[in-house]
Amino acid sequence: MSWRATVLTIFPEMLPGPLAHSLAGKALSAGRWQLETVDIRDFARDKHRSVDDAPFGGGPGMIMRADVLDAAITGASGVGETILLSPRGRRLDQQRVRELAAGPGVTLICGRFEGVDERVIEMRGIEELSLGDFVLSGGEPAAIALMDACVRLLPGVVGCPQALAEESFAEGLLEYPHYTRPAVWQGQAVPEVLLSGDHARIRAWRREQAERLTQARRPDLWASLVAARQGKDREVER
């Protein structure tokens, strides 16, 4: 059985969207993963097919109804973890992506309007994941980003698995800078070491650059890397 993503949305026409193209699209046609889209509206109970209602307690916007969404989740019979894309969620990172890609698949709920009735989130123990500290108009672009990140880790999707081992976050570091032809562009030469053919020196230079970039741009990542190293050193001492 290939990895399966089930997406619950009120805009099923937004999918597969960008996932029909390039790497993820090829993998989809090749059957390395499956995508199933469920229209939440199909589970509405009234003739207007409404999925939302006004918030108790007042305030702006509309809220996705717990009963309709719950019926849609049951009807969808997706596999793996059920996840609500939400700006309140834990920030999605490569570690979580790796875990999700290693499982049978994911069931993704795309919020719309002001959000989702809290009771369905609590009753089902739904995990909330966020793309970052900004607000999208709906969960679909976030679901697409999550699926893209998972699919490229599935076996056989990326032609050269070595590329996955070296990219950003693989070792808790940002990736080193890249250069290609021409060797001199607008008076700027590429770093000499990259033309040296000395693979040990190149590796050391790239490592140094990755560490420098991570320290400068992501002190948070750098701090957890340093803490992890200190933990390892202590283990060795014991």
Residue 86 within binding range of ligand SAH, rule CB under 6 A = yes
In sequence order, what are the residues at sequence separation of 6 or more whose Cβ sits closer than 8 angstroms to the Cβ of residue 87?
Answer: 130, 133, 134, 135, 136
- Site residue total, ligand SAH (CB under 6 A): 18
Letter for the amino acid at 46? D
* Nearest-approach distance from CB 85 to ligand SAH, in angstroms: 4
Residue 8 within binding range of ligand SAH, rule CB under 6 A = no
Residue 58 within binding range of ligand SAH, rule CB under 6 A = no
Cα(189)–Cα(208) distance, integer angstroms: 19
* Nearest-approach distance from CB 127 to ligand SAH, in angstroms: 12
Cα(195)–Cα(180) distance, integer angstroms: 11
Nearer CB in complex with ligand SAH: 75/132:
132
The DSSP code for 20 is G
Please report which residue ranges of 66-151 form alpha helices under DSSP H: 66-76, 94-102, 118-124, 140-151
Residue 63 within binding range of ligand SAH, rule CB under 6 A = no
Among 12, 18, 25, 87, binds ligand SAH (CB under 6 A): 87
Nearer CB in complex with ligand SAH: 24/110:
110
- Given the rule CB under 6 A, which of 19-27, 32-40, 50-58, 110-118 is the region that contacts ligand SAH? 110-118
Angle of the 140-151 helix axis to the 22-29 helix axis, nearest 10? 70
Binding mask 112-151 for ligand SAH (x = CB under 6 A): x-xx--------------xxx-xxx-xx--x---------
Measuring CA to CA, how many Å separate 32 from each of 51, 130, 164? 33, 26, 17
> Hey, which bits of the chain come out as E strands?
3-9, 33-39, 52-53, 63-64, 81-91, 105-110, 115-116, 127-130, 184-185, 188-189
Residue 82 within binding range of ligand SAH, rule CB under 6 A = no
Nearer CB in complex with ligand SAH: 110/174:
110
Summarize as ranges the residues that interact with ligand SAH (CB under 6 A). 85-88, 110-112, 114-115, 130-132, 134-136, 138-139, 142
